Structure 1
Amino acid sequence: MSSFAVPTTLAEYEASREDLILADRAQRADHKKGQLSKLEALADKVIRQVRAAEAASIWSLEYEGIPHPFPGMEFLTGRSIIVQTKLFEILGKMPKGGLLHAHLDATVNVSFLLKAAMKYPAVHVRASTALNATNIGSVLPEMSVLPQQLRTSSDITLTDHNYIPDTWVPMVKARESFDSQLGGPEGFDRWITAALTINPTEAYVTHNTVTKIWQKFASTFVVSAPLVRYEPIQREYIREFILSYIADGISYVEPRINFLRDAIPFIAEDGQRQLTHKEVLKDFQKVVDDVKAELKAQGREDEFIGAKIIYSTIRFITPEELEWYLRDCIALKKEFPHLIAGFDLVGDENVLKPLTYYLEPLLKFREMQKEAGVSEIPFIFHGGETLGDGTEADMNLYDAILLGTKRIGHGFSLVKHPKLIELCKERGIAIEVCPISNEILRLTSSMHMHPLPVLLNQGVSVALCSDDPSVFGNMGLTFDYFQVLAASEITGLIQLGEMAKDSIKFSSMEEEEKKDALAAWQKRWEVFLEYAASEGQKFLAQFEGMKVSG
């Protein structure tokens, strides 16, 4: 029976209302007011005021091409406004803990990838037809790394009307010779960039179903894979991934790497040989070690704790093929015990195979590990990245939990399942929530409709993640943190800090590593709180001055 009686006086009503609100929000970190330090309380209050001030100012203005600006609006349309805000500037300095859900092939800015590709003569591009003003928006580039004996010295270019379809052209030459009427070299860059990213028109107009936007989304990986998985580029790519995320306040990364033996191979520097998976991990570990050594030499070792990888493969393989990948994962765990964090199956849950399709090999995985004598490789499954209710994609949540998943990737439909929420809390299963990804892939139309507040109100542990930032344009984590904060009157700085801590607590680091990482985070958090309070107060003073003078 409820302890909240019907009030009979105004004073009783106000007291009961306050008690009811506090009880309803009791599981949220930012409503445990008695446990906050003076600095935390001040910074949280100031940031809430900054959010309110900008909602009434920046977001109330008119912008060309943006007919309905509001905080938490569709990201790709509102991004140009977001970067103008003081709130975004302040959050850029926030220590964000770990990034627990990102696909390595889509973590680095496309412009960096293009510049890297131009360094290597082996990188070639082709098209299915000669490019012109009529078809350039619909013809996708195809990339490849060619060994010396297959490279061409032809003068033909992609925009020449005599271009023979599917003829390989060196990337550098293709760019330099791109028709000036199509924009010249910059037009070439735009053509490639359009194939590697999702633009607002695609996200919100033309690709107006989950299926359609996923088709566009998947095509970006097909185009980028030959570049990202070319050994010398991949080394640069991993380094840029780590350094750019450190710059955004992220101190630990746990990316997923997709392994597919023949469909999406890793190519050695000579362009002829496929890299073994062992070589891929060696390269990854070397880059991580080099970055850590550089930071230590600069006295910045607390800024980066390290990296592990989640071994992933895609949900279109057969159960028999999955068993090979599970054994491969175990072999790599034996070789790199501190690098392999877990195992996942990825891809569009709405159209690819459900976890139940793979139950036989998945149920054998623990026994396979015991036989091999390796330490535990937990499942870290994607699940519930869907609008479905009772569909196979939605039901993946039941199977992920029954199979012992350590965390759940996305878990968008989890809020429909009270018992599963209860189990996540009981078993310490955190949810890797990717707000901007969910919005662009049409699971929600804006942050105001995202189920994240339901999870927070229920006391579920959450780590905010960026998923595929090179495709979506949400590099780092500041954009995702901004969207969550801007779209809620309840969520404040303290709740953001709690999610940052959860990204460390629920990471795959060893317990001693987590302890050190949390201690380092706390030091940086205290510095950030002072900065946030100071910068926020300066902004508010200027804002009030502008209001008076206006």
Structure 2
Amino acid sequence: MAPFVYKDFEHYKDERAALINRDRSPSLRPDFAQVLSEIETKADEVVRKIRTAEAASIWGAKYSDIVHPFPGMEFLTGRSIILKTKIFDILTKARAAMSSACALLHVHLDATLNPKLLLEFGLEEPAMHVCVSERLTSANIFTTLPEFRALPKDDWVLANSTCGLTDKDYVPNTWVQIRKARDTFDTSMGGPECFDQWVERALSISSTEAYRTHNTVAKVEYFSTLKFQGLVLFTPIWRKYIREFLRSSVEDQISYIEVRVVFAPEYMVGEDGAQDVPHREWLLIFDQVQKELKAKLERQGREDDFVGARIIYTALRFIPIDELEWHFQDCIALKKEFPHLIAGFDIAGPEDNLPPLSHYAEALLRFREQQKEALVDIPLILHAGETCGDGTFADMNLFDAILLGSERIGHGFSLVKHPKLMEICKERGILIEMCPISNEVLRPTASMPMHPLPILMNNGIPLAISSDDPGIFGNTGLSFDMYQVLVSSEVTGLTALRELARNSLKYSTLEREDKKRALESWERRWEIFVQGIVDTFVDANHAV
């Protein structure tokens, strides 16, 4: 290839600028002047200047407990620094004040709430009990994980006669009322406060587990075995849980949600302690709670703040084929009864350790035919490519997800290794539900500057930002994930977040008219948001 030839240095600079523009032209990023309104250009400039200043003043400062902080660093370590920044204020307080909203498309319901709040819900219920596989001691307290269950009232007396979890006479795997377990927790180990810390730590992933002991796999396996779900799958808590999840999402400017619900076990525990509440009752409660929230917001004149929430019916990746077939029929029955609630179908679970999609492909093809016979439409919205692998079973899930017609792909982390698949996703409009903090905490990537999201964005792949398991990771809402994306790239600007947010509504499963109204409302709110940034941070002399 012949070398570039320049007339002079000015010609070189012109060619350099042209090459940069050509390199960025296929991108979804609307960070370039020709696609920005005047007010968006000003707001984007404001955010970039603040980001640059904070990279030096906040991320460049020294902290006694954090070695070498940097924008986009490990979230569980850098979270306390994020909270000090103006950028995060813009993404939370300013966004709330100016009513900028988006959709949340990839989140698992049983891992959405702060563990402290979930424990509070459990302590309010006399029926809720806890057990452990061995008596708790100072030596095993942070390696022994609890199991929870609501018991029938007739069993409370027996459970109340049981020793506390730290008592030397405690018999492993026997149930103790959760309030009693807390009240009787050994004072030499810290008493009730230590009990709270133990439960909250069990229901989350700490920085030590993620970055030092690399114990996240064991923790994820704990969550996937559903041993903690006894706290959630108890109708009095289920109702509170959904109410708080929807309320807190709206407060973080999430106007629409498609939440993955694992429909296992077959029955939830009811108020009487009997495990006999079928899946349709789960949806009735879900529907009732969101209707109550909509009515409340409407009374406050905030009806545009919440479009609604729908459910992606989710089965677990380790179940046998015949059990998956049962889930197909269950999902179809629920779709017929609740057409407005069931948004899609997924199979979830740690991809590196569980059967690949190819194992279920024949059954999933049958599911498509079963839907036709039942006169319903339940799109596949499949997890795929949540792996560092290249050519592994988990990585190859991307091929099956696309061939099976998945309308969106959950995570798609390894997609960047497959140029043809990227091309197909771009051509067919297959959106990738990216979960930045989840990917970093679970270690497919070590930090956000190493995340493949900008590669996919630069190649024009439709993307939306999601939080995955925010209760476990401490990134509730979407603001933390947005922050990590925004500060980890010198190219990405505020208006790139605009496209990511808009995509979240555009590629949702909302019906055509509902989607149209949601997008129109979003456009209005976005304009208010960017105008508010300029009004707040630019003075009369146009200086930030």
Q: Displacement, 1:155?
A: 6.2
Following the alignment from structure 1 to structure 2, what is the Cα–Cα distance between the partners of residues 340 and 191? 36
- Aligned residue type for 1:98: A
Q: Which residue in the other structure is 1:440 paired with?
A: 441
Q: Which residue in the other structure is 1:249 paired with?
A: 253
Following the alignment from structure 1 to structure 2, what is the Cα–Cα distance between the partners of residues 487 and 284? 37
Q: Displacement, 1:321?
A: 1.6
Is 1:66 matched with 2:66?
yes
Q: What SS is found at the alignment partner of 2:269?
A: coil
- Deviates most, 363-372 or 99-108: 363-372
Q: Which residue in the other structure is 2:409 paired with?
A: 408
- Aligned residue type for 1:532: I
- Aligned residue type for 2:245: F
Judge conservation of contact 1:40–1:494 (CA < 8 Å) in 2.
yes
Following the alignment from structure 1 to structure 2, what is the Cα–Cα distance between the partners of residues 220 and 379? 23
Following the alignment from structure 2 to structure 1, what is the Cα–Cα distance between the partners of residues 487 and 231? 36
Q: What SS is found at the alignment partner of 1:308?
A: strand
Following the alignment from structure 2 to structure 1, what is the Cα–Cα distance between the partners of residues 510 and 29? 23
- Aligned residue type for 2:18: D
Aligned pairs (5 A) from 1:211-222: 212-220=215-223, 222=226
Q: Which residue in the other structure is 1:12 paired with?
A: 11
Judge conservation of contact 1:195–1:220 (CA < 8 Å) in 2.
no
Judge conservation of contact 1:217–1:471 (CA < 8 Å) in 2.
no
Q: Which residue in the other structure is 1:83 paired with?
A: 83
1:114 to 111, 114, 119: 119
- Aligned residue type for 2:222: S
Q: What SS is found at the alignment partner of 2:22?
A: helix
Following the alignment from structure 1 to structure 2, what is the Cα–Cα distance between the partners of residues 28 and 445? 25
Q: Displacement, 1:11?
A: 1.1
Aligned pairs (5 A) from 1:189-208: 189-207=196-214
Q: Displacement, 1:541?
A: 11
Following the alignment from structure 1 to structure 2, what is the Cα–Cα distance between the partners of residues 316 and 111? 30
- Aligned residue type for 2:218: Q
Judge conservation of contact 2:128–2:148 (CA < 8 Å) in 1.
yes
Q: What SS is found at the alignment partner of 2:476?
A: coil
Q: Displacement, 1:224?
A: 2.4
- CA-to-partner distance for each residue in 1:176-210, whole Å, 9 max, x for gaps? 22222222221111000111111001100101xxx
Following the alignment from structure 1 to structure 2, what is the Cα–Cα distance between the partners of residues 541 and 36? 18
Q: How much identity, in percent, do the aligned residues show?
A: 53
- Aligned residue type for 1:466: S
Following the alignment from structure 1 to structure 2, what is the Cα–Cα distance between the partners of residues 328 and 178? 42
- CA-to-partner distance for each residue in 1:445-484, whole Å, 9 max, x for gaps? 0000000000110011111000000000001000000000
Q: Which residue in the other structure is 1:548 paired with?
A: none
Q: What SS is found at the alignment partner of 2:129?
A: strand
- Aligned residue type for 1:404: G
Following the alignment from structure 1 to structure 2, what is the Cα–Cα distance between the partners of residues 186 and 528? 42
1:187 to 171, 188, 194: 194
Q: Which residue in the other structure is 1:21 paired with?
A: 20
Following the alignment from structure 2 to structure 1, what is the Cα–Cα distance between the partners of residues 534 and 230? 46
Judge conservation of contact 1:30–1:491 (CA < 8 Å) in 2.
no
- Aligned residue type for 2:106: H
Judge conservation of contact 1:50–1:536 (CA < 8 Å) in 2.
no
TM-score, normalisation: structure 1: 0.94
1:160 to 138, 158, 167: 167
Following the alignment from structure 1 to structure 2, what is the Cα–Cα distance between the partners of residues 399 and 339? 26
Q: Displacement, 1:163?
A: 2.0
- Deviates most, 420-429 or 159-168: 159-168
RMSD over aligned Cα, in angstroms? 1.8
- Deviates most, 28-37 or 309-318: 28-37
Judge conservation of contact 2:431–2:464 (CA < 8 Å) in 1.
yes
1:276 to 275, 278, 289: 278
Judge conservation of contact 2:102–2:505 (CA < 8 Å) in 1.
yes
Judge conservation of contact 2:162–2:170 (CA < 8 Å) in 1.
no
Following the alignment from structure 1 to structure 2, what is the Cα–Cα distance between the partners of residues 328 and 378? 15
Q: Displacement, 1:77?
A: 0.3
- CA-to-partner distance for each residue in 1:102-148, whole Å, 9 max, x for gaps? 00000111111111111111100122232222221221112111111
Is 1:101 matched with 2:109?
no
- CA-to-partner distance for each residue in 1:351-376, whole Å, 9 max, x for gaps? 111111112211112211111122x1
- CA-to-partner distance for each residue in 1:132-179, whole Å, 9 max, x for gaps? 222212211121111111112326212222222222111111112222
Judge conservation of contact 1:96–1:497 (CA < 8 Å) in 2.
no
Q: Displacement, 1:412?
A: 0.3
Q: What SS is found at the alignment partner of 1:15?
A: helix
Q: What SS is found at the alignment partner of 1:121?
A: coil
Following the alignment from structure 2 to structure 1, what is the Cα–Cα distance between the partners of residues 299 and 454? 42
Following the alignment from structure 1 to structure 2, what is the Cα–Cα distance between the partners of residues 283 and 242? 13
- CA-to-partner distance for each residue in 1:302-334, whole Å, 9 max, x for gaps? 000001100010111112221111111111100
Gaps (5+ residues) in structure 2? none
Q: What SS is found at the alignment partner of 2:160?
A: coil
Q: What SS is found at the alignment partner of 1:512?
A: helix
Q: What SS is found at the alignment partner of 2:273?
A: coil
Following the alignment from structure 2 to structure 1, what is the Cα–Cα distance between the partners of residues 322 and 160? 44
Following the alignment from structure 1 to structure 2, what is the Cα–Cα distance between the partners of residues 369 and 494? 40
Following the alignment from structure 1 to structure 2, what is the Cα–Cα distance between the partners of residues 175 and 487? 42
- CA-to-partner distance for each residue in 1:486-537, whole Å, 9 max, x for gaps? 1000000000011000000000101111111111111211221122223444
Q: What SS is found at the alignment partner of 1:274?
A: strand
Is 1:230 matched with 2:234?
yes
- Aligned residue type for 2:421: L
- Aligned residue type for 2:235: E
Q: What SS is found at the alignment partner of 1:362?
A: helix
Q: What SS is found at the alignment partner of 1:255?
A: strand
Classify 1:493/1:224 alpha carbon distance in 2 versus 1 (closer, same or farther; 3 Å). Answer: same
Q: Which residue in the other structure is 1:530 paired with?
A: 531
Classify 1:390/1:289 alpha carbon distance in 2 versus 1 (closer, same or farther; 3 Å). Answer: same
- Aligned residue type for 2:151: L
- Aligned residue type for 1:367: E
- Aligned residue type for 2:107: A
- Aligned residue type for 1:213: T
Q: Which residue in the other structure is 2:451 paired with?
A: 450
Count of residue pairs the alignment pairs up: 534
Judge conservation of contact 1:308–1:338 (CA < 8 Å) in 2.
yes
